[in-house]
Chains A and B, each alone.
Chain A
Amino acid sequence: MLGLAACSTDKTAETASSERVVNVYNWADYIAPDTIDKFEAEYGIHVNYDIYDSSEVIDVKMLAGNSGYDVVVHSSQFSSRLTPIGVYEKLDYSRLPNVRHLDAEIIARTDSYEKTVGYSMPYHWGSTGYAWNVEMVRERLPNHPMDSADVLFDPAVISKLADCGVSFLDGATDLIPMVLAYLGRDPNAVDDENLAAAETALKAVRPYVRYFSNQKMMIDLPNKEVCVAMSWSGDYVQASRRAKEAHIDIELRYTMPKEGSGLWVDGVYMPADAPHKDNAYLFMNFLSRPDIAADIANTVFYANSNKSAREFMLPELLNDPAIYPNEEGWKILFPILTVDPKRERPRTRVFARVKSGI
């Protein structure tokens, strides 16, 4: 039965390339509203656009294979593990002429995932920190500097904010490097001693954390259900916009903690079993066209690596040090590396124990 299925997939793969279709899989809220329409109008290729809301979900789909997607946007950290086992197609950059617009300096600074080289096209990148509601925090901490991760990890500080709500990102790969950096340790360490230190520190502040989520704070920040949310750069801008749409008057700010902030990078990839590879190249190249890349950046408020796109990008985006770090910022940023898979479970366990108190 499996053999039969494989046969028929091969057959469809041959005929599929001639279909005027491309299947795209991307994060939720990670594209401009008119990008798809513009591509379809220009190329006459229909885009089946599908979205996900956590890296884990797309990761498992890629791992399982036969996803049917032609273009996927995925974290380069996760992709470092997928590339060596043949999940992705090695890209023919001659078919992606728009990569010439990329900024070599930024690429050099952000590309810490050597295994994905040759397989990915840069999409967006950013830092990990926390967004905070100025009014609510200042009521409770009038003179606190708000430049450190102590807001999240020092029981004496976070306890004062517990009543207005503090949320943490829901993932070991974001939280544990950040607390290790705060403790002055190697953020990518996964040995028992470092993990134990992270666990102790996190358990001490656990009582003051309202919840762990990657999404909920995007609703709860505008609604004042939380006043500090560990989040990714750009999130605070999207949250501010939502508040404005709902006519809620709040001022949100974003801090990259001075002790260290995790750098994340997302790339555009093509699954090795993509059924419409020709169309996939066209779509990937389209995403890197300066005007299109600028449209997307202006919408999602994350930094990209496209130099030529800058002339179309909003000044408040380009000049926001929370999004495009200054030299000080670059010093703080550390790459979140892929860890030894055998150590993945101990790290997840620490996180699970912290979350659940078990």
Chain B
Amino acid sequence: MIAVAGFRRDMLWQRFTIAIPYLWLLVFFLAPFAIILKISLADPIIAQPPFTPFFDGQGGVAATVDSYLFLLTDKLYAVTYLKSVFMAAVATLLCLALGFPMAYGIARADEGTRNLLLLLIVLPFWISFLLRVYAWMGLLNNHGVINNVLIWLQVIDKPIAFMYTDFAIYVGLVYSYLPFMVLPLYATLERMDLDLVDAAQDLGARPSQAFWDITWPLARPGVIAGCLLVFIPAMGEYVIPYLLGGPESLLIGRVLFDEFFVNRDWPLASAVAIVLLLLLVVPIVFLQRSQARDAEGHA
């Protein structure tokens, strides 16, 4: 009898623990998603709240896909989505190109140095994100530190316009999101058996071949995790393009802001958000499948 009761309690506990992540997903992802989806299917009106109700009051549903159709008709959206994807992708690749050697170096450093380097990677998080972006404005301005030093060194005689360009946005994105690339890469590289690379060279692989045959495929989970951690927030980034970018750097984050705040068109803003989410779900699904494949390979 006692054994049976204990068994039941275990089952309950097990079900409860399994339910937690689902509950989390439901409360913090699916519920807000449902609300946004509902708003995206409404019509904008001047009222409080500024959109038509989903239920028409007579038991029916008043939904419209006008907002989605509008996304298709005005090329502004397609262009900014593409520009956002492009800039986020370039920033991600830059982070990868910079972050991989950094993570590799940290993973191969001796323990004392490694902890110091990891601390340095995490250190910027102790300062507000906004302050750090502002600091870049001070560096990149026409009369900023970089231009002043270059002029003083007589490398240039007129300031270079770094600010308010795509270049400045890339600097901001790469600077802000590099740690999110380095940390997961470090985690995978640090676990990697160094003998594997030696073994590849022993079997006749040049160092570059050993890298692409061994290190790179084994680092792939870290590469994918790092790329997603950079790409997803960079895609919807609002502050960095707003502060560092020029007006021609119209990204989807700004479009969403404008629809919501300037045009007060909540349904359209919600539709923009839903489409953005779908664009982000594609790489996540890709990651899921790839990780499932890896899990199969290392279980």
Contacts and interface: CB of A to CB of B under 8 A. Distances in A.
B46 A212 contact: no
Contacts of B248: 355-357
B105 interface: no
Contact of A87 (B48, B143, B261): B48
B246 interface: yes
B46 A348 contact: no
Contacts of B76: 349, 352-353, 356, 358
A89 to B, nearest CB: 14
A84 B260 CA distance: 20
Contact of B142 (A165, A209, A355): A165
A57 interface: yes
B34 interface: no
A33 interface: no
26 contacts: A54-B261, A57-B261, A60-B264, A63-B49, A64-B49, A81-B46, A85-B46, A85-B48, A172-B262, A212-B247, A223-B141, A344-B263, A345-B263, A349-B74, A349-B76, A352-B250, A352-B255, A352-B258, A356-B76, A356-B80, A356-B248, A357-B248, A358-B76, A358-B79, A358-B80, A358-B250
B263 A348 contact: yes
A59 B261 contact: yes
A172 to B, nearest CB: 7
A46 interface: no
Interface residues of B, number: 27
A356 B247 contact: yes
Contacts of B141: 223, 225
Given A225-B143, A341-B264, A348-B262, 14 more contacts: A56-B262, A81-B46, A85-B47, A87-B48, A171-B262, A223-B141, A224-B143, A341-B46, A344-B263, A352-B250, A353-B76, A355-B248, A355-B250, A358-B250
A56 B48 contact: no
- Nearest 7 A/B pairs, CB to CB: A356-B250, A56-B261, A355-B247, A357-B248, A212-B247, A358-B79, A211-B164
Nearest to A342: B44
A84 B48 CA distance: 11
Contacts, number: 71
B201 to A, nearest CB: 51
User: Which interface class (under 10, 10 to 19, 20 to 34, 35 or more) fits A?
Assistant: 20 to 34
Interface string A33-54: 0000000000000000000001
Contacts of B283: none
A81 B264 CA distance: 11
Contacts of B263: 344-345, 348
A355 B143 CA distance: 24
Interface SS, A side: helix
Contacts of B262: 56, 171-172, 348
B50 A63 contact: yes
A158 to B, nearest CB: 15
A352 B258 CA distance: 9
B75 A209 contact: no
A179 to B, nearest CB: 15
A118 interface: no
Nearest to A173: B262
A59 B75 CA distance: 27
A86 interface: yes
Interface string B226-257: 00000000000000000000111110000100
Contacts of B258: 348, 352
Interface in B137-161: 141-143
Nearest to B251: A356
A171 B164 CA distance: 18
A258 interface: no
Contacts of A345: 263, 265
B250 A65 contact: no
A86 B265 contact: no
Interface in B38-58: 46-50
Interface string A273-309: 0000000000000000000000000000000000000
A210 interface: yes
Most buried by A among B46, B247, B258: B247
